[in-house]
Each structure stands twice: as C-alpha cells, then as structure tokens.
C-alpha cells in the first residue's frame, strides 16, 4: 500500500498554498505536521485532566460563538480552557485556509478529549478503536465533506496512536455489495421522528452503512491493509475523515477541529467519496 501519511516539516501554521499536499489530502491521505508551535502554559497544564469533565460528558466542546460545554471547574480555569481551544481553532483555521484558499469552510464546534482512549466506554457502533470512515447517524451531510484537524497535547509525550486503513476506493469496492438498499420512505420516517436532523440522502445512507459494516467485520478489522502511526505530543494531523479509514488505539488529551465544506470547493472533486461511489454505482447519488 502506498504510504497513507505525508509528513510535512513546516514550522508555522500559515503555510504555502501547496497542490501536492492538497492532492494528498483529497486522495484520502493524512497530512502530518510535527513541528508546528503550540505552547501550553503552566495554567493550561492544569486543564489536562478528565476531572474537568461534567458528569456524563466525554468531551468538552467550544461552539463557534465560544460557548463552552461539558466542562466543570472554577471560572478562571473555564476561561483558560476557552482560550486554549480558541487558540487551537484559530491556528487550525490559519493552517487550512493558507493551504487551500478555495475551501469554503463551515466551522463546527472545537472539541477537547481528556479521557484516556483505552478507558473509554463506547458502543460497538460508536467505538472509534475500530477502523471506520466518519458518517453520522443523526446528521446527514448531503455530500458535504468532513475535514478534521487534530492536535495531541499530552503533557507527558504519550502519543495518540492511530491505525490508518486502505484507500476509500478499496473500502467501497470491498463493501458496497453488502450495503442495504436505500429506502426514501425510511429516510422520511427517520426525519419525521427526529432521529435525523435532516433527510438522510442515499449518499448518507451508503456512507453510514460502510461505517457500520467496516466496524462489524472483525476479520476485516484484523486483516485489512493498515498502518499504525504514533502522533507524539505537539503533532498536528489533518484528514478528510469521511474518506480516510482510521481508528484510534491509545492516547489521552487531544483537541480536534471539524470543518464541513461543499464538494464544489474541492480542488479534485473526482477523488471524493461521492464521486468514487457514484462512479462504481453508475449514477449520481444525491
């Protein structure tokens, strides 16, 4: 398997518009920056504990209007956490907009994940330790892409270890024949009873099925082509997580910034999951 990861040594978040890196990203590779500056102050280090989580919350999230959810600590630390997450969001946005100025980014909330991966309790379907592509049960995205920027902020240099699987085209070729047929009746029903926030399109249905089928195939999980990559403290990595087959094996203290973007703002729309699936199936899916 051609390497699924591209290491980039730049030392500033504002980088050059670079077609090679964009092509790598849009073909489903992970681009990895190990030298970007992100200083964590002594006060911020106090935030690196699962004890700051509110009861029953797994992550802290910072909305685009800077409302913090999921954290419980004194006002001074809440402020520090807001600032830490905002700083990451600003840097992540600088990175992506300088790399790919065409992208029409819609910014989602920023998330901070303080629980040790090995201790997380998750349903089978929600278990991110299994190789998957991202697709959401409740939030259909109608072909909009999911671009994610991650940073490991572990204070003890414990890596966040990921597996990266085979290219999306192989995933699609392996599993499309197992996907249940789309039912527009069922999609309307799910929307009516508010399980989905909008109508699940045929594209969303197929992506969610691929996500589930991959996770439930234990033979595939152990035998699919994959590499294991440790992302050390300070590392930043970026991928289209609706395209890159990925899973997390271990680690603690990561921040993540998600963006959605329309297919039309991609540089190579033909390498998107939408185009790959439409091509294999022989019709445009949306």
| Site residues (vs ligand SIN, CB under 6 A) | 113, 128, 160, 241, 246, 248, 254
- Of 89 and 246, nearer to Fe ion (C-beta) is 246
Closest CB 18 distance from ligand SIN, rounded Å:
24
CB 15 within 8 A of CB 95: yes
Q: CA torsion sign, 168 to 98 to 105 to 8? A: positive
Q: How near is the Cβ of 279 to Fe ion at its closest, in Å?
A: 24
Q: Show the 3-state SS of 122-181.
A: CCCCCCCCCCECCCCCCCCCCCCEEEEEEEECCCCCCCEEEEECCCHHHHHHHHHHHCCC
Pairing of strands 30-33, 5-8: parallel
Residue with Cβ nearer ligand SIN (160 or 200): 160
CB of 134 to Fe ion, least distance (A): 4
Tell me which of ligand SIN, Fe ion, none is bound by residue 160, counting a contact when its beta carbon lies within the kind-specific cut-off of 5 to 8 angstroms. ligand SIN
In whole angstroms, the minimum distance from the beta carbon of 152 to ligand SIN comes to 9
Nearest-approach distance from CB 251 to ligand SIN, in angstroms: 7
Nearer to ligand SIN, 202 or 240 (CB): 240
Nearer to ligand SIN, 175 or 285 (CB): 175
Residue 48 CB neighbours (<10 A): 17
Angle at 171 between CA 228 and CA 245, to 5 degrees: 35
Q: Which is nearer to ligand SIN, 160 or 205 (CB)?
A: 160
Interface with Fe ion by CB under 5 A: which residues?
A: 134
Closest CA to 84 of 66, 107, 70: 66
């Amino acid at each position: 398997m051609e390497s699924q990861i591209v290491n980039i040594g730049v030392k500033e978040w504002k980088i050059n518009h670079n077609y090679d890196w964009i092509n790598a990203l849009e073909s489903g590779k992970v681009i990895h920056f190990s030298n970007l500056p992100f200083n964590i102050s002594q006060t911020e280090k106090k935030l690196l504990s699962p004890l700051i989580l509110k009861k029953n919350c797994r992550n802290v999230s910072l909305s685009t209007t800077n409302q913090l959810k999921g954290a419980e600590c004194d006002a001074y630390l809440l402020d520090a956490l807001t600032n830490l997450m905002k700083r990451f969001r600003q840097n992540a946005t600088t990175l992506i907009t300088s790399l790919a100025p065409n992208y029409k980014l819609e910014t989602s909330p920023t998330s901070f994940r303080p629980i040790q991966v090995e201790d997380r309790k998750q349903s089978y379907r929600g278990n991110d330790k299994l190789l998957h592509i991202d697709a959401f049960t409740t939030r259909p995205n109608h072909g909009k892409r999911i671009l994610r920027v991650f940073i490991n902020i572990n204070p003890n240099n414990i890596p966040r270890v990921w597996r990266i699987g085979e290219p999306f085209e192989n995933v699609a070729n392996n599993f499309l024949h197992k996907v249940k047929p789309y039912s527009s009746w069922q999609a309307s029903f799910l929307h009516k009873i508010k399980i989905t926030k909008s109508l699940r399109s045929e594209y969303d249905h197929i992506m969610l099925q691929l996500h589930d089928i991959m996770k439930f195939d234990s033979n595939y999980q152990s035998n699919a082509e994959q590499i294991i990559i440790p992302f050390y403290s300070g590392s930043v990595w970026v991928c289209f997580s609706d395209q890159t087959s990925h899973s997390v094996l271990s680690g603690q203290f990561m921040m993540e910034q998600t963006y959605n973007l329309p297919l039309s703002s991609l540089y190579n729309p033909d390498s998107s999951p939408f185009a790959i699936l439409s091509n294999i199936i022989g019709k445009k899916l949306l």
